[in-house]
Structure 1
Amino acid sequence: MVVQKLSCCSRSRLPLALWLLMFLITFCLIIIALATSDWMVWTNNLNYSRTERGLFYSRDDVLHSCFLNDLIRRTQDDRYSQFSVNSVAGLLIAAAVVDVIAVGVGLFYFYIKQRDKQKLWRYYIPTTIAALTAAAFVLIGCLVFVMDMSEVIETTIPVTRYSACSTDVKGAHVMVEYYWSFYLALISGGLSCIK
């Protein structure tokens, strides 16, 4: 009898545990994306300062017929920047997908299982709106971002492409910070549901 009661209790709390696990996964993904974007901005600024000092592109390179080597170095930097930006975009898309699944699990738990309409409308509906807004923002932003990045890589010369990558790296950082603020609102509303 006691074992049966415990198993029923554990089954009823399984959606809640899954919901919290998804929020934890989302949290980890955002933290990794935030750290990656911070590192990208730092390394990008370092490379830009080197360019300013003439370490990557200088008059001497052109005079000594080393301009081709400089273009190769710049192209490698661009590929690295594109990979980093796409990595951040991938992390954010994964976080958004987990977010949407968490919304579905939470809706199942709070409405279908508990049928607590007061708690649903007071806490969960605002949380759902925040989650879906964040997910939509991230998915649309990342798609536009990656498409724009591909266009920049394909259509511009390396010198212009380098400065464009600099802008995109900073844009990725801003996008992560926006999603982080959405996520804080989301998790605070979600945790209020448990009380």
Structure 2
Amino acid sequence: MLMLFGGSFNPPHIGHRIIAEIAYDEFKPERFLIVPSKNPPHKSIDFIANFDKRFSWCERVFFEYYFEVSDIESKLPSPSYTIRTIEYLMNFDKNIYLLIGEDSFKNFHKWYKWEEIVKKVKLVVYPRYFEEKSPYSVDFEYIKLESPIVEISSTEIRQRIKKGKTVKGLIDDKIIEEVLKEYN
């Protein structure tokens, strides 16, 4: 079984790390891929650090042997659609679990070829809100990851940096200086 955790990781933060650790512990996949998006179709290029930086940050944040940071999206056609990554990975493993946040899940019906995605993978959703029940309904199966709600986002980190506020403890010490320089 392969667990796929993709995102812009702009920058990767402690919340990403916590969710990955909980998902690994829950599912014990043979491979756990962290996949920074090369050219995310839903993000403005003006607000995103270049791929090589984000990839390097992820390598240092997700350093345990059971995580594998993959540059697959740098080799696939742009923009970085999840379905392309999944179809490529299915050449190696047909049992794929896709880990996404509840915030992304809320807009999942807007993803490129989302109907194909849910046919090819098992969707694992981690909570991002304090609501007991999600404010949306779906007609496909998904797994809700039992985990604490992590109230931090890459957007919030970038905003804190711009305002001169601390992000210590929110991002890994191994990358903090580079992240501050990038978004200041």
Higher helix share: 1
Q: TM-score range by the shorter chain?
A: under 0.3
Tell me which protein shows more strand as a share of its residues.
Answer: 2
Work out which structure has the larger RCO, using CA pairs closer than 8 Å and 6 or more positions apart in sequence: 1
